[in-house]
Amino acid sequence: EKGTYPHFMLKEIDEQPFVIRKIIQEYQAEDDSIKLNEDVRKAMQKTDRVYIIAAGTSYHAGLVGKQFIEKLANIPVEVHIASEFSYNMPLLSEKPLFIFISQSGETADSRSVLVQTKALGHPALTITNVPGSTLSREADYTLHLHAGPEIAVASTKAYTAQIAVLAILAVDTARVKGLDLSFDPLQELGIVASAMETLTDQKEEFDRLAKEMFETTRNAFFIGRGVDYYVVQEASLKLKEISYIQAEGFAGGELKHGTIALIEEGTPVIAIATQENVNLSIRGNVQEVAARGANTCTVSMKGLEKDSDSFVLPQVHELLTPLVSVIPMQLLAYYAALHRDCDVDKPRNLAKSVTVE
């Protein structure tokens, strides 16, 4: 039920801090350590390479998850679009572990990969919001997102839940391996939940920005570097699916290799800047497009901000920034769709779960 909300999407955006707190509770043992299925632990210890398989928003969460597993647990990770993997399987390592990320657990493209990799005898873990779903039943192990039902076609709370669970999984794997980590995901996620609340309390700000940037535009570009590049891909998917604005997410450094030709007077370009090591370079990219007439908007992390930024995000751990930088992007997409009179919860041509290949 929507309750007092005009749309499920807005309700689900607002639920994200609660979902993160629920995940902390579900994955915390009594002694405050991480609580995780022992079989999943063993599978993570055994593998020499993780293959993340997903579609759409879940694929974008997988890209962020790769960072966690590689950087924290020191295991190589490949992230694949399910429909591509399914028809063009890459060479596999000796001991692959397949992780299927799916809100619904019913995505046919992902299931097709699961059927193929199971036939090859490889272990599979499904990370899903629906424990009894096909992908959950047919995989060897399941991790639950605990996000509650997601009704709006545009996925929001499932994305942040997927990233939170992937962070917990990566840290647990690192700890079992005996790697020395100072990063405590459960504590850091608590900080994230409060930061999310600060953002969802400032909706008018994003309503105003969305009106100014997107009400009449034909197209829009999002740019970022490092993990921000993954978030801008999600930002552009959100915007295109509910507002029908042609949007793309680009790596800041790639602009000069072609895309910058598309920038005209007034083209909206939204940049995310949450990573210290690329802060100067992404800002250089913003200047390049601004000099060619783009209508720019930079969303930065506290500590890295400049006076010209449109919005400064509350500070969270550098690894977890996607969980907060995505909230303004979800809200911008939501308000853009409203300002353009689009059906927010049920965009044209789309279904909540895609059960055909």
Please tell me what DSSP assigns to residue 260: G
Q: How far apart are CA 140 and CA 137, in angstroms?
A: 8
Closest CA to 147 of 26, 233, 324: 26
| Residue of 177, 203, 240, 352 marked catalytic | 352
Nearer Cβ to ligand M6R, position 110 or 321?
A: 110
The full 3-state SS of 173-191, as one line of letters, equals: HHHHCCCCCCCCHHHHHHH
Which of 36, 55, 139, 167: binder of ligand M6R (CB under 6 A)? 55
Minimum Å distance from CB 55 to ligand M6R? 4
CA torsion angle for 292, 240, 15, 136 (degrees, to 10)?
-130
Q: What is the nearest approach in angstroms of ligand M6R to the Cβ of residue 105?
A: 7
237 in Cβ contact with 189 (< 8 Å): no
Stretch that binds ligand M6R, among 73-81, 101-109, 274-282, 285-293 (CB under 6 A): 101-109
Residue 153 binds to ligand M6R (criterion: CB under 6 A): yes
Residue with tokens 């593998």: 47
By the rule CB under 6 A, 58 interacts with ligand M6R: yes
* C-alpha torsion angle, residues 76, 81, 161, 183 (rounded to 10): 20
| Tokens, residue 215 | 């009400």
Token pair in block for residue 236: 């552009």
* 104 forms part of the interface with ligand M6R (CB under 6 A): yes
Instruction: Specify whether 352 is catalytic.
Output: yes
Report the residue from 53, 154, 174, 329 that binds ligand M6R according to the rule CB under 6 A. 154
- The rounded radius of gyration (Å) of the Cα atoms in the chain is 20
CB of 155 or CB of 274, closer to ligand M6R: 155
Q: Which stretch binds ligand M6R (CB under 6 A): 152-160, 243-251, 256-264, 296-304?
A: 152-160
Q: Binding-site residue total for ligand M6R (CB under 6 A)? A: 16
Residue appearing with tokens 């890459």: 90
103 is a site residue for ligand M6R (CB under 6 A)? yes
Binding test (CB under 6 A) with ligand M6R, winner from 22, 52, 56, 72: 56
Told to check if 300 binds ligand M6R by CB under 6 A, we report no
Task: For residue 250, give every residue at least 6 positions away whose Cβ sits within 8 Å of its Cβ, in sequence order, or none.
Answer: 221, 222, 223, 229, 232, 259
Q: How far is the CB of 353 from ligand M6R (least distance, A)?
A: 5
Residue 268 and residue 270: Cα distance in Å, rounded?
7
* Residue 14 Cβ vs ligand M6R, minimum distance, rounded to whole Å: 17
Among 47, 83, 107, 267, binds ligand M6R (CB under 6 A): 107
CB of 138 to ligand M6R, least distance (A): 14
In degrees and rounded to multiples of 5, residue 256 shows phi and psi of: -70, -10
Q: Is 354 an interacting residue with respect to ligand M6R (CB under 6 A)?
A: yes
Binding footprint of ligand M6R on the chain (CB under 6 A):
55-58, 102-104, 107, 110, 153-155, 237, 241, 353-354
Residues marked as catalytic: 352
